[in-house]
Amino acid sequence: MQLASFDFQQNHFQLFGLAQSYQIDIAQLEQQYRALQAQVHPDKSAHLPDAEQRLAVQRATLVNEAYQTLRSPLRRARYLLSLYGVDTQEENNTVMPLDFLMAQMEWREAVAEAQQAKDAATLDKLEVQIKRETRELEAQLAVKIDIEKSYAAAAGAVRKLRFMEKLAEEIHAAYDAIDL
Amino acid sequence: MALLQISEPGLSTLPHQHRLAVGIDLGTTNSLVATVRNGISVVLNNGNGGAILPSVVRYLADGSVVVGEAAQAMQNEDAANTIVSVKRFMGRGLKEVGEISRLPYRFVGAPSPSVAPGNSQGGMVQLRTVAGVKSPVEVSAEILKVLRNTAETALGGELVGAVITVPAYFDDAQRQATKDAARLAGLNVLRLLNEPTAAAIAYGLDNAAEGVYAVYDLGGGTFDISILRLSRGVFEVLAANGDSALGGDDFDQRIHCWLLEKNRLSALGPQDTRLLLTHARAAKEQLTEHAETRITAALSNGEVIDNVLTRSEFHAMSQNLVEHTLQPLRRALRDAKLGVADIKGVVMVGGATRMPQVQHAVEEFFGQTPLTNLDPDKVVALGAAIQANLLAGNRSGGDWLLLDVIPLSLGIETMGGLAEKIIPRNSTIPTARAQEFTTYKDGQTAMSIHVVQGERELVSDCRSLAKFELRGIPPMVAGAARIRVTFQVDADGLLNVSAREMSSGIEAAITVKPSYGLSDAEITRMLQDSTQHAQDDMQARARREQQTEAQQLLEAVQHALEQDGDLLDQAERAQIEAYMGALRDTLQLTDHLAIKRAITALNDVTVSFAQARMDKSVAHVLAGKNIADLEIK
């Protein structure tokens, strides 16, 4: 790809030459990412005039942003749905199945207790459970988006996935806290 | 101005011309300069034949400055005017320099004019010397000037630029201070490069390494751990962690304290304090090779101290320092989502990794013998030189890509003194994030934004980087204004913040001048004060450079106006054209600073135009991210 043809208008999938779907080839994404950065990274234009360096910062920023978005299953789903005109409403739609919310509360309490007790083994177990649940939600997303194309239902799964990510972050923070 | 059309690649490079570029390791204890010669990275020797310049600066009453070994030789005698380990003060406030009472300096907490209003922590610490009050930036610049001289003498020409290394865990204030020091020393900074990453380049390219490596870098005053994936010419930092106030100096301090206790000493003067610290360092180095060492010193009051320190005693007193390095290690691995078994090799960097207890701890942690085949004192400078050669556009040495990260999360203060993360740590740079804010009172026309860096939840536990105010928000009912703030971290790891009210397009852009930093005006004054290198030919060169940049900018803006002029209203266009005219007028002046000011002014006035051009093309990329990233409470 020639630098001059770098197009800020492309969506993230187009940028990396990927088909626009939830399921993507991560290895191909990584390879394309590196190939793109090898061209647009500011280090490649450090000897050029300031204006060009600033442009490089913006291109590389966009490539990083696009890569981070597509690499994360949650962000990829959210982004893909936004391309289909569906807002995942993670900040204002908190209607969740009761059993899901109950499970969330229990997990959070378990994480907090494990942190309090400095119990890394329990955190390990919780992490495995949460990973499993996360994988399950991601599998549902693949079906809902790529096969059934039921985007509203997929938005619900994204909201759940956001909860799981938050839990994963809490576990991460708990490990850090135990290690103080 | 951003987002302008590109000129032909290689515009300013003549073919086959080797551009002189250096890598500089500006260390706490020692500094080095290296360059790539005939395809090989070499450390440059100074006039005395030595490669290592002690990072020691002595100020004399007549205003002259001595740097390096000659200054080091006087550090006991003239401790208050001989600045050692100045790196520990870079971008730091008085309160953060914890060991004030144990250091032989006259600290001044004078807040700099750039201190953000309402920031009670004060500006960067300064030091009172016989030659006046000096900021750590000025002291560091003296070291850099000597290295620049060494390089220009050895290479026989002016430098195109330099890569300056910084600890990976340096925050924005410390990075900005380092860049300011380079500017003050007349160096064009090609890049601020993280020290462990520099070491990884030197090691990786040398050994054609592939896989995940850990770089354990314990320097004189800083500790870094970086986890990198090396793969087919790509150096990708997966996670960085560390402690920017932990290093070999702290081991010296432990011995120093032990000496004070042993000999029931208290409240020593600067001279005796430095004397004991010097002996402590020598003892530490002795214990690397020997099982015990004897410390004898005569204090200024005639009292003689004479103690034997064994290696096991030293290990016991410094054990918690070594353990302290393991926590960042575990965190970096967790952030990289890797385990110890994933690490193919551990590269040791920094003189303090020579200590046997450090090597043992690292070996035990990783379950493998760390790699020490590279000189831990030189590897950072060598790697920086290799990167400098690449950045200067000398493609002789092959091609590779370096993807580094921001070590500490960036955030803003929200209600209740809480820090909300905007850019999380270990994000690959360059990176940007846009976030929208709104007014909370009817008719509110101003808004203040406090930018902080750190991992803690409370703003008071994070580092204050800057506060800035957005004025001129059109009066609306509460919640109607939409202010989009963009946080951009560049490839040096430095943050720029810009803000814009979306309905009126009012723009406020600032470079984050850290709460601990120097203002542009201060830097300019320091530049003018330092007349040492300000000869006429340099002025002329600076003028030519500014003229070239001015012409390029004028052409670029003209081009942008032709292409996207419709994005501007008449008043905006007239304003830009007025600034273009003003810049053209300065081209005849001999004062390059006047040209530079006019360039900056034109750049500033075209920011919103650039933003509009960017919005036109990439709005869909950044817009909306903010909402998605909101915390779910």
Structural domain contains residue A158: yes
Cβ atoms of B324 and B330 within 8 Å: the answer is no
ipTM score here? 0.91
pLDDT in the model for residue B397? 58
pLDDT in the model for residue B443? 86
How far, in Å, are A3, B513, B630 from residue B497 at the CA level? 27, 10, 19
Instruction: Look at A50 and B549 and tell me if their CB atoms are within 8 Å.
Output: yes
B172, B217, B224, B615: the catalytic one is B217
pLDDT in the model for residue B9? 38
Compute the average pLDDT of residues B565-570: 87
| pLDDT range class, residue B16, cuts 50, 70, 90 | low
Which residues in chain B (207-226) have CB-CB distances under 8 A to chain A?
none
Burial label for A117, CB within 10 Å (0-12, 13-18, 19+), is: exposed
Q: How many domains does chain A have?
A: 2
Where is A151: in which H helix or E strand? helix A151-178
Structural domain contains residue A87: no
- B534 pLDDT more than 70: no
Higher pLDDT, B506 or B212: B212
Active site residue B87: yes
User: Shortest CB distance from A57 goes to which of B331, B490, B618?
Assistant: B490
Q: Are residues A173 and A107 in the same domain?
A: yes
Q: Are residues A103 and A45 in the same domain?
A: no
List chain B residues with CB under 8 Å of A4: 6
- B499 pLDDT more than 80: no
Give me the total of CB pairs closer than 8 Å, taking one residue from chain A and one from chain B.
127
pLDDT in the model for residue B265? 86
Higher pLDDT, B430 or B49: B430
Q: Which residues of B111-129 are buried (b: 16+ CB within 10 A; e: fewer)?
A: bbebbbeebebbbbbbbbb
B156 CB contacts (<8 Å, ≥6 apart)?
none
Q: How far apart are alpha carbons B564 and B173 in whole angstroms?
A: 37
Angle A73-83/A50-71 helices, nearest 10 degrees?
A: 100
A123 CB contacts (<8 Å, ≥6 apart)?
A111, A114, A115, A171, A174, A175, A178
pLDDT in the model for residue A140? 96
Highest mean pLDDT out of B375-379, B513-517, B554-558 = B375-379
Distance of CA A76 to the CA centre of its chain: 6
- B396 pLDDT more than 50: yes
Compute the average pLDDT of residues B381-391: 96
CATH number where A42 lies:
1.10.287.110
Q: Are residues A55 and A105 in the same domain?
A: no
Which residues in chain B (116-145) have CB-CB distances under 8 A to chain A?
none
pLDDT in the model for residue B589? 76
Q: Are residues A171 and A102 in the same domain?
A: yes
Compute the average pLDDT of residues B178-196: 95
- B627 pLDDT more than 60: no
B87, B145, B378, B467: the catalytic one is B87
What are the beta bridge partners of residue B468? B449
3-state SS, residue A20: coil
Compute the average pLDDT of residues A65-92: 93
Q: How far apart are alpha carbons B499 and B586 in whole angstroms?
A: 30
Q: Which residues of A82-113 are buried (b: 16+ CB within 10 A; e: fewer)?
A: beeebebebbeeeeeeeeeeeebeebeebbee
Structural domain contains residue A91: no
- B508 pLDDT more than 50: yes
Q: How far apart are alpha carbons B77 and B602 in whole angstroms?
A: 52
Compute the average pLDDT of residues B487-514: 75
- B516 pLDDT more than 90: no
- B531 pLDDT more than 50: no
Cβ atoms of B485 and B499 within 8 Å: the answer is yes
Q: Are residues A63 and A110 in the same domain?
A: no
Structural domain contains residue A81: no
Cβ atoms of B490 and A42 within 8 Å: the answer is yes
Cα end-to-end distance, chain B, whole Å? 40
- A44 pLDDT more than 80: yes
List chain B residues with CB under 8 Å of A162: 632
Which of A55, A71, A87 delimits the end of a domain?
A71
Q: How far apart are alpha carbons B243 and B224 in whole angstroms?
A: 6
pLDDT in the model for residue B120? 38
Q: Are residues A152 and A114 in the same domain?
A: yes
User: Shortest CB distance from B430 goes to which of A57, A82, A163?
Assistant: A57
The number of C-alpha atoms within 13 Å of B242 and in the hemisphere containing its C-beta is 32
Dihedral in degrees, nearest 10, Cα atoms B561, B565, B569, B575: 0
Q: Are residues A108 and A62 in the same domain?
A: no
User: Shortest CB distance from A47 goes to which of B13, B622, B630?
Assistant: B13
Instruction: Look at B621 and A66 and tell me if their CB atoms are within 8 Å.
Output: yes
Structural domain contains residue A89: no
Compute the average pLDDT of residues B328-342: 94
Instruction: Look at B632 and A166 and tell me if their CB atoms are within 8 Å.
Output: yes
B172, B195, B243, B377: the catalytic one is B195
Which of A71, A89, A122 delimits the end of a domain?
A71
Q: Which two tokens stand for residue B26?
A: 């500006």
Q: Are residues A15 and A65 in the same domain?
A: yes
List chain A residues with CB under 8 Å of B617: 8-9
- B546 pLDDT more than 90: no
Compute the average pLDDT of residues B129-157: 94
Domain of residue A56 covers 3-71
- B232 pLDDT more than 90: no
B93 CB contacts (<8 Å, ≥6 apart)?
B109, B121, B122, B123, B124, B125, B515, B516
List chain B residues with CB under 8 Å of A82: 624
CATH number where A121 lies:
1.20.1280.20
| pLDDT range class, residue B444, cuts 50, 70, 90 | confident
List chain B residues with CB under 8 Å of A50: 549, 553
Q: Provide the 8-state DSSP code for B415.
A: G
Q: What share of chain A in percent tops pLDDT 70?
A: 97
Q: Which two tokens stand for residue A14?
A: 């187009």
Cβ atoms of B355 and B327 within 8 Å: the answer is no
Structural domain contains residue A43: yes
Nearest CA in chain A to B556: A51
Structural domain contains residue A86: no
pLDDT in the model for residue A145? 96
Structural domain contains residue A80: no
Residue-wise pLDDT tens digits, B40-68:
999 999 877 788 999 999 999 998 999 99
3-state SS, residue B590: coil
Out of A53-67, A111-125, B292-306, B444-458, least confident range: B444-458
pLDDT in the model for residue B537? 53
Residue-wise pLDDT tens digits, B84-122:
999 999 998 887 777 676 788 888 875 544 444 333 345
Active site residue B364: no
Distance of CA B306 to the CA centre of its chain: 41
pLDDT mean across residues, chain B: 85
| pLDDT range class, residue B458, cuts 50, 70, 90 | confident
